[in-house]
Amino acid sequence: MNLAFIGFTVVSVVLSIYASTFYSLAGKRLPVFMRSYSLAYFSLALTFLIWAFASLNNEFLKNFVIIGDSLLLLGSILLLNVLFNQNKNIKIFSIVTGVILSLIFIWLRINYYQPMPFIENGILVFNTQTIVAVILNLVFILIWLPANLVAAKKVTANISIEGMTYAYSFIYGVSTIAAILFITFKTIPMVIISFVALGICFVMLLYSNYVINKLLPTKL
């Protein structure tokens, strides 16, 4: 049984549903720029789906990891629209800078820091080089986490339930830590633990979105 394929596919489906809930609310009960947030998570969902199929064929494993990295960076660039939505000049500058840095990263990834993943007992271990792991971790900490916190505030802004923003923020924080550990760890047990924790976080967020969808006002 290929556990990597099953796990990545399940998380991809969960992320797709999570993204679709935001996309359907953007421009109606959430600000329009939240569509960029949902598109970022669609990109992340596609990343996990790519990794799922990568785990089925060792021959293309390295190439699929690079494609996954590219989609992750694409999602990160989309999130810049969420972070800097209120300042057009900073937003444009950050997106252009993000595109340039992403292209440089992928070029270095292909030519100097090629992926070294392996499959062991049906588990995909990325075995990421330290410098690559540090860069990806910074992307999660500096872009994904702040963007998620912005989303938490926007989603709960019109909800009168006390502590809902903090609950969302806590789950986002734990999911960020789990993602960082998942990329960094090189041992099977720790990869499994961090991946399961990441999956649980997004299931919780998906359920929270379902509840919030019932509580949000029908119009902005």
Report the amino acid identity of residue 44. L
Percent of the chain with pLDDT over 70: 93
* Mean per-residue pLDDT, 158-176: 78
| Nearest CA-CA partner of 98 in 48, 54, 142 | 142
Which amino acid is it at 186? K
Residues 172 and 149 sit within 8 Å (Cβ to Cβ): yes
141 in Cβ contact with 183 (< 8 Å):
no
Q: Across all residues in the chain, what is the average pLDDT?
A: 87
What burial class does residue 45 get, using C-beta atoms within 10 Å of its C-beta: 0-12 exposed, 13-18 middle, 19+ buried? Answer: buried
Rounded Cα gap, residues 122 and 170, in angstroms: 31
pLDDT of residue 26: 80
Residue 130 — very low, low, confident or very high, per pLDDT cuts 50/70/90? Answer: very high
Q: Which two tokens stand for residue 11?
A: 């998380």
CB atoms within 10 A of CB 86: 8
Query: Is the pLDDT at 219 greater than 60, yes or no?
Result: no
Residue 162 has a pLDDT of 67
Give the helix ranges, DSSP H, for the chain.
3-25, 34-54, 61-83, 88-111, 130-139, 145-156, 164-184, 188-215
Evaluate if residue 161 carries a pLDDT over 70. Answer: no
CA–CA gap between residue 68 and residue 49 (Å, rounded): 9
What mean pLDDT is predicted for residues 123-141? Answer: 91
Terminal-to-terminal C-alpha distance of the chain: 47
How do the domains of the chain map onto residue ranges?
A: 3-215
Are the beta carbons of 159 and 212 closer than 8 angstroms? yes
